[in-house]
Amino acid sequence: MNDRISSITIVGGGSAGWMAAAALATYLGKNASIRLVESEEIGIVGVGEASVPHIRQFNGQWLGIEEADFVKRTQATVKLGIQFNDWGRIGDSYIHGFGAIGRSLGPLPFHQFWLKLRQSGRAGPIGAYSPQTVMAPQGRFAPCDGNAPPHSPLADIAYAYHFDATLYARYLRELAQQRGVTRIEGKIVKVNQRAHDGFIESLTMENGQVVDGELFIDCSGFRGLLIEETLHTGYVDWSYWLPCDRALAVPSERAEPITPYTRSTARAAGWQWRIPLQHRTGNGYVYSSRHVSDDEAAATLLANLDGKALGDPRQLRFTTGMRSKLWNKNVVALGLASGFLEPLESTSIYLAQSGITRLLSLFPQRDFNPQLSERYNRESVFEYERIRDFLVLHYHATERDDSAFWNLCRTMPVPDTLRDTIDLFRADGRYFRNGDDFFALPSWVQVMLGQGIVPQGYHPIVDEMPEERLVEHVEGLRSMLAHAVASMPTHQEWIDRYWKASAA
């Protein structure tokens, strides 16, 4: 008997739904019928505009999308990292860039000997040793230096994109439909469960149509139509550590130059994003409603745009956290239906993509072997919790004491896992990656230093190395990067030459 799942139904046509549809059609479309139900009347959130480098792998290697086509069709720009302003202290600024920092020596990561030289004033700021953080503030970009040897940091620049989330969903919809996905328009009014085990059997649409399926992917947004409203899976609330619970989003006219990085500016009760696209700039204020009123938040947002607002701010409400299980019975929740980690490090779209690839690797047969869903849930919890810790780090490691919000964040007890990470780093700059932790050593090091956590010492092996050799290594790298980046095209020139979108 054939135990293969032959019918998959996706609920929701936001970016999560269409990403899932495109990937499932690419890998399972020959043997399974894939349908996606969405309601134009309900609409999509459509504000996810910044990404992490993993999207290039998902688009290119997993879906076979051609990069220039994607960039042009979604009005995208390059993102080399995030500039954090006023986070550690008002007036501070640092960039959390993608990719590696410096070059290791023997068993030691670069930042260890940088710490020693920095203490004696013989090294520049950490941002001078990564191509991304040198390129970003100068507004320069090239995906690689064709003349660089393979081990050079310039051989493969780590970057992601800023893009129009609504256009991305539309782009993926076209791709998924070309690959055989059937789209069903309309509102689901009832979810029908099997009597004996509660598995989802079918969906009843407003027009009476019944849509069945063996596996259901819940991409219905914050409400979690299947995973929560039907299966009552439960939600783990992390708002104690991440107290922001609302956002106001507003686009503004394109402002020059279009920077190849996201800007995140800390405000009295949260932070404001600035995301430059080719045709406009995305802006938003993520805030804690306990610490600022909606009106005041809107006024702060509008007073800090660098172009004319193209509408009124739109409010979104959320509770940071995740579902107790992301795979429950025959439902896998993706995107906002699975949980929400606020957008400080642009991880939501990544988490949906990671969920899709995890589902493909653990794809079940009709018997829904519980070992597969247990593993899926375990890996997802690990991934969410480690990203949660990384986000909490930004709020907690601050000297700001100018508002009740920052006093709360600075003094709150943090998860033990994060406490241990900070203590270890503060002692002598050590950081150990935990399994498949999404944010690796360069990210933790940049953010900890940027937020003002300065290690008291450094690794003992550093003193075994002749200091002059370290200086030569560090300064050689700095001048090589400075020289190479100065001859790169500007971000705008690169876009005009290769990736210019047609008028919006």
Residues that bind ligand FAD (CB under 6 A): 12-17, 37-39, 42-45, 47-51, 165, 187-188, 219-221, 225, 247, 249, 284, 316, 318, 335-337, 343, 346, 348-349, 352
18 or 114: whose CB is closer to ligand FAD? 18
Comparing CB distances to ligand FAD, the nearer of 100 and 247 is 247
Smallest distance from the beta carbon of 480 to ligand FAD, in angstroms?
33
Nearer to ligand FAD, 387 or 448 (CB): 387
Q: How far is the CB of 76 from ligand FAD (least distance, A)?
A: 13
CB-nearer residue toward ligand FAD: 145 or 164: 164
Query: In 3-state terms, what secondary structure has residue 323?
Result: strand
**What residues are paired with 276 via a beta bridge?**
281
- Measured from the CB atom, is 169 or 462 closer to ligand FAD? 169
Q: How far apart are CA 198 and CA 201, in angstroms?
A: 9
CB-wise, 246 or 473, nearer to ligand FAD? Answer: 246
Closest to ligand FAD by CB, 50 vs 101, is: 50
What is the distance, to the nearest Å, from the Cα of residue 350 to the centroid of all Cα atoms in its chain? 5
Shortest Cβ 25–ligand FAD spacing (Å): 17
C-alpha distances in Å from residue 366, one per residue of 89, 214, 453 = 55, 7, 51
- Which residue from 279, 73, 74, 261 is spatially nearest to 164, judged by alpha carbons? 74
Per-state percent for the chain, helix, strand, coil, to nearest 5: 35, 20, 40
Q: 3-class DSSP state for residue 252? A: strand
In the complex, the smallest distance separating the C-beta of residue 227 from ligand FAD, rounded to whole angstroms, is 12
Min separation Cβ 281 and ligand FAD, Å: 13
Minimum CB separation of residue 325 from ligand FAD in Å reads: 17
What is the smallest separation between the CB atom of 446 and ligand FAD, expressed in angstroms? 19
CA distance 312 to 353: 31
Of 118, 79, 119, 113, nearest to 99 by C-alpha is: 79
- Please enumerate in sequence order all residues whose Cβ is within 8 A of that of 415, keeping only pairs 6 or more positions apart, or say none: 241, 385, 388, 389, 392
* Integer Cα distance of 330 and 126 in angstroms: 48
Rounded to the nearest 5°, which phi and psi values hold at 307? -155, 170
Closest distance of CB 354 from ligand FAD, Å:
11
CA distance 261 to 252: 17
CB of 162 to ligand FAD, least distance (A): 8
- Residue 165 Cβ vs ligand FAD, minimum distance, rounded to whole Å: 5
Cβ-based nearer residue to ligand FAD, 235 or 368: 235
Q: Which two tokens stand for residue 267?
A: 């405000």
Residue indicated by tokens 């700021």: 125
Q: Which two tokens stand for residue 445?
A: 């090091």
- Alpha-carbon gap, residue 211 to 188, rounded angstroms: 9
- Whether the Cβ atoms of residue 227 and residue 198 lie closer than 8 Å to each other: no
DSSP designation for 92: -
Cβ closest to ligand FAD, residue 326 vs residue 337 = 337
Helix, strand counts (H, E) of the chain: 14, 21
128 or 188: CB nearest ligand FAD: 188
Q: In the complex, what is the shortest distance from the CB of residue 284 to ligand FAD, in angstroms, rounded to a whole number?
A: 6
User: Which residue has 């409603």 as its token pair?
Assistant: 289
- Output 41 or 464, the one with its CB closest to ligand FAD: 41
Specify the DSSP element, H or E, that contains 360.
Answer: helix 348-361
